[in-house]
Amino acid sequence: MGRTVLICDDAMFARASLRQMLTRAGYEVVGEAENGEEAVAKYLALKPDLTTMDIVMPQMSGIEALREIIKADGTARVVMCTAMGQEKLIAEAHDCGVKGVVVKPYSSEQVVKALEAALA
């Protein structure tokens, strides 16, 4: 059985793209969330091995969701997916305990490499 992943991104296209990349790489996508509040709730319910998190999302940002997830589970492995030019937010994510970052547009290889590093 592959590692389980929760995909969190407000863009349906981004979620579908990540789902396809990760499924091809042997991961089991156990859930998707389109905002930070949903991301926290689904993380707590599903306890995935890994979570991909968009930094900028409605209702609760990826950073806020990351904080909540880490507070509830200090062993959580979250990889941030972000757009170019968000260095300040990336630094904040590192301060909050993110295990990796991939910058959009990313390749399947970049995403899988970041997830493997987060698992190591």
Residue 50: beta bridge partners?
5
Whether this prediction's pTM lies above 0.75 is answered by yes
Q: What is the largest CA-CA distance in the chain?
A: 37
Q: What share of the chain is helix, strand, coil (3-state, %, to 5)?
A: 50, 20, 30
What percent of the chain has a predicted confidence (pLDDT) above 90? 80
b/e map of 30-55 (b: 16 or more CB within 10 Å)?
A: bbbbbbbbbbbebbeeeebbbbbbbb
pLDDT band at 90 (very low <50, low <70, confident <90, very high): confident
The arrangement of secondary structure in 4-119, i.e. its CATH architecture, is: 3-Layer(aba) Sandwich (3.40)
b/e map of 2-17 (b: 16 or more CB within 10 Å)?
A: ebbbbbbbbeeebbeb
pLDDT band at 98 (very low <50, low <70, confident <90, very high): very high
Residue with tokens 């509040």: 37
- What letter represents residue 6's amino acid? L
Contact 31, 7 (CB under 8 A): yes
Does the pLDDT of residue 105 top 90, yes or no?
A: no
Give the residue-averaged pLDDT of 83-89: 80
pLDDT of residue 88: 87
Give the residue-averaged pLDDT of 90-118: 92
Residue 7: beta bridge partners?
32, 52
Residues 22-67 pLDDT 10s: 999 999 999 999 999 999 999 999 999 999 999 989 899 999 999 9
User: Which of 40-44, 62-66, 81-85, 113-117 shows the lowest mean pLDDT across its residues?
Assistant: 81-85
Give the residue-averaged pLDDT of 81-87: 80
